[in-house]
């Protein structure tokens, strides 16, 4: 699966900016044409200008199509993100219109160049170039709604998180203020990334930690599981469906101190709902804020505190063990997506000879 690089999506120009850029470059190309005969010089200039303008527009539009992630190459999670953020149908239609316009501009260029080669007077050369410019401008203005949509969608998509489907993913859920983002921060090797989340007005926290050169990604679920199912809208349901597609394990935080504002009974009801919703992923219940608990629940097996660090390393080891990304069933076969250093690929015979020489030297 491709990992969408949202921040690398190119800037989308306004329709008139595209035309101004193309015609400006075309004028400069005209000045580069040299021919002592005016008739042939003007004809070459008009052909060069049309070619340059169409090339600029064609390359600009095709660059957008190439740089925007293909929905077919994305994971279900990323497709759900796009659908919730800007709509998959509009995404496909807009890029399709851009592709069509690029092909149409290229065709107009070829037709106009052939026409100029058949003409026999200088004024007709100029008229053919103006006519080509008009047709090209018409095509660009025809897809103005799609261009403007792309520009707005780019601003939204650039804020989306990038999750690698080939690496383990830990989804953290729970009621508001139970410590989801704090847990991700405590487990992360570095500063967690904060990204916009298309499903809510809140922010998404992304973190990761390394174990045996493998990156374990952590994603929280802000505002997705904070109310009964029958009160959730379509966007929130898409968010839940998206999260179901990426988690290797779901960590549900329970705040028995009730300091976050949700009663223990409400959190238990939420946990029961999550269990009925997520049936194909292991669920690990973790009790947070152990440093302020006045009474430890009888069923509390995993106690943590992001303040004192209690239980954090133990939790990390439990997650690694449950996910089992590096478990080796066949010692002759490395786990899928195992990171291999180039120098580790030496022939076994070579390694044997090196070791024997070391033994002799000693």
Q: Where are the domains of the chain?
A: 6-157, 169-323
Average pLDDT on 73-78 reads 84
So what's the pLDDT on residue 234? 61
Domain 169-323 classification at class level: alpha beta
Tens digits of residue pLDDT in 22-54: 999 999 998 899 999 999 999 999 999 999 999
Strand, helix or coil for residue 245: coil
So what's the pLDDT on residue 223? 59
Label each residue of 278-332 as H, E or C: CCCCCEEEEECCHHHCCCCCCCCCCECCCCCCCCHHHHHHHHHHHHCCCCCCCCC
Cα gap 175→129, rounded to integer Å: 65
Cα gap 342→345, rounded to integer Å: 6
Strand, helix or coil for residue 226: coil
Q: At residue 350, does pLDDT exceed 60?
A: no
So what's the pLDDT on residue 262? 81
Residue of 305, 187, 202 whose CA lies nearest to 255: 305
Q: Fold identical between 6-157 and 169-323?
A: no
Contact 248, 198 (CB under 8 A): no
The CATH architecture to which 6-157 belongs is Up-down Bundle (1.20)
Element (H, E) at 204: strand 203-211
Q: What percent of the chain has pLDDT over 90?
A: 42
Contact 252, 283 (CB under 8 A): yes
Tens digits of residue pLDDT in 101-156: 999 999 999 999 999 999 999 999 999 999 999 999 999 999 999 999 999 999 98
So what's the pLDDT on residue 348? 47
Cα gap 94→81, rounded to integer Å: 17
Neighbour-count burial of 360, counting CB atoms closer than 10 A to its CB (0-12 exposed, 13-18 middle, 19+ buried):
exposed
């Amino acid at each position: 699966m491709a990992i969408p690089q949202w921040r690398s999506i190119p800037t989308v120009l306004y329709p008139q900016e595209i035309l101004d850029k193309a015609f400006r470059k075309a004028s400069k190309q005209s000045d580069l044409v040299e021919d002592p005969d005016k008739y042939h010089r003007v004809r070459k200039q008009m052909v060069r200008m049309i070619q340059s303008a169409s090339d600029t527009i064609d390359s600009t539009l095709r660059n957008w199509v190439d740089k925007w992630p293909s929905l077919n190459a994305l994971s279900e999670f990323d497709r759900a993100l796009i659908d919730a953020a800007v709509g998959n149908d509009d995404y496909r239609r807009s890029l399709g219109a851009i592709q069509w316009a690029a092909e149409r501009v290229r065709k107009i260029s070829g037709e106009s160049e052939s026409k100029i080669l058949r003409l026999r007077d200088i004024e007709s050369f100029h008229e053919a170039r103006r006519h080509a410019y008009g047709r090209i401008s018409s095509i660009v203005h025809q897809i103005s709604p799609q261009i403007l949509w792309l520009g707005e969608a780019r601003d939204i998509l650039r804020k989306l998180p990038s999750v690698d489907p080939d690496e383990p993913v830990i989804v953290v859920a729970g009621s508001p203020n139970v410590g989801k983002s704090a847990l991700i921060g405590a487990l992360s090797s570095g500063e967690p990334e904060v990204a916009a989340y298309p499903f809510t007005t809140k922010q998404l926290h992304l973190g990761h930690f390394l174990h045996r050169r493998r990156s374990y990604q952590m994603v929280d679920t802000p505002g997705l599981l904070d109310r009964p199912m029958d009160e959730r809208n379509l966007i929130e349901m898409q968010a839940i469906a998206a999260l179901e597609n990426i988690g290797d394990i779901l960590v549900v935080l329970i705040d028995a101190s009730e300091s976050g504002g949700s009663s223990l009974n409400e959190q238990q009801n939420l946990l029961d709902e999550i269990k009925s919703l997520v049936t194909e992923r292991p669920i690990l219940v973790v009790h947070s804020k152990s440093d302020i608990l006045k009474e430890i629940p009888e069923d509390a097996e995993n106690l943590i505190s992001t303040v004192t660090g209690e239980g954090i390393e133990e939790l990390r080891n439990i997650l690694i063990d449950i996910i089992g990304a590096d478990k080796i069933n066949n010692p002759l076969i490395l786990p899928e997506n195992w990171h291999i250093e180039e120098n580790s690929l030496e022939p076994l015979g070579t390694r044997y000879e090196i070791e024997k020489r070391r033994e002799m030297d000693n």
